[in-house]
Every structure is written in C-alpha cells, then in structure tokens.
Amino acid sequence: MALVASLRLVLAPPHPAGRPFLLGGVVAIVVGLILTQWLTWIGVCFTLFCLYFFRDPERVTPARPGLVVAPADGHVVSVASVAPPPELDLGTAPRWRVAIFLSVLDVHVNRMPVSGIVTRIAYRHGKFVNASLDKASVDNERNALAIRMADGRDIAVVQIAGLIARRILCHVREGDAAQIGARFGIIRFGSRTDLYLPEGVTPLVEVGQTMIGGETAIADLLA
C-alpha cells in the first residue's frame, strides 16, 4: 500500500504551470537527436526533473468542521506569534504564524487552508534570501491572501519566493469563494508558505513536522 501511494505521488500529472518547461525539455531532446547526443541527455534529465517538480497529486481533505489544513507540502520551520503582513490590513495584534519550507523535492502546489471569501490579495516585491530563514517572511518577494470565513474571522496565507524560486503564481482573485483544500497557486523551484491563524487560535503543529498540503490539520477553530 505504501509503495502504491509513493508511486501515485511521483507519477502524478504535472500542474499546468509546468507545461512551458516541459515543452522546452522536449524541444531540447528533439534538437539533440538532430545535432548532438549530449543535448539529448540534458533535455531528458530536465524533462524528468520538471515532471517530478510540477507533479500535482490529488489530496483528500479532512471533512471534520473547524479544521485548518496545511496550505503547502514541506516541513515546519517556525511557529511564532507575530503580526500579519501589513499589506493585508488585518491589524497589528500578534497571531500565530506557521511557516512551511518547501524544498525542490516537495510538491509546490498551494491549497486553501479554509473555506471562505478571498477579501484581499497583495503582491509585494522583495529579496530572494533562503526561504528557510525567519527573515524571509519580511524581506522576500511574496503574495499574501486574506480569507474571511463564515464566522467572520480572518485567516491569511502568504506565498513567499525563495533563494531559487523567482515566480509566484496565484489563480484566485479578490471576491472569489475559497474551498478548503482547493488549489489556488504554485511557487516555482523552492519556496515557503506562511499561514497566519485567527487571533486566539493555537496551532497543533511543531517545528520539524512534515506537512501535506490540503490534508494535514494545522489548527482546530472549534477547540
């Protein structure tokens, strides 16, 4: 069973954001077959890497009401009480932030942590320091979303570019209805995703834990 699950993860179809890269790899293979063998092997390796990096497996989101799920795969590098990004206008009161670092080996598709309405999306240009560092939340280029849940509370999720990642994609707009576990974007080639919980809500995870986007429970709003 574990082997089957692993194969499904590795062989999952690629996210649409990977198509230009896959096409480039195929072109390199074709040109290499015509001109030189070394280019063919480079194209093969690049294509296989892109198939792995952009894989987009299906996820089973917990059905229990009140859960906040991980917005990304990866491991938790920080659990701290800090103010949310100022561009989201969620106030300055500290709230729990769970920071998830995504290596190049993790699935990079971002998923909604809760259901609600996307009330604000704010993109901010910045640096590209190592996303595993705490200062990446403040210094790095990022795309922040505020989501208002049915009970009126707000939660925020921030896509953060990393040392290698230079492209953040977000497929939702302000006013869109968000469904917990649904895909909303992707960050290319190594990154970080921060989740800011509503005030008064305590995270259930600790530094070092592995997250599965759309499945791992990070907090319980009803606790």
Q: What is the pLDDT of residues 74-86, one digit of tens each?
A: 999 999 999 999 9
**Among the listed residues 41, 48, 122, the one whose alpha carbon sits nearest the alpha carbon of residue 87:** 122
For residue 69, what pLDDT is reported? 97
Q: Would you give the distance in Å from CA 94 to the centre of its chain?
A: 23
pLDDT at 138 over 70: yes
Q: What residues does each domain of the chain span?
A: 2-53, 67-220
8 A C-beta contact, residue 47 and residue 19:
no
8 A C-beta contact, residue 156 and residue 142:
no
For residue 10, what pLDDT is reported? 56
For residue 175, what pLDDT is reported? 95
Told to judge if 81 belongs to the known catalytic residues of this protein, a careful annotator would answer no
pLDDT at 93 over 90: yes
Span 13-17, mean pLDDT?
77
How would you classify the pairing of strands 116-124 and 142-148? antiparallel
Catalytic residue among 78, 132, 137, 191: 191
Prediction pTM value: 0.86
pLDDT at 216 over 90: yes
Span 5-14, mean pLDDT?
60
Q: Is the CATH code 2.60.40.10 the one for domain 67-220?
A: no
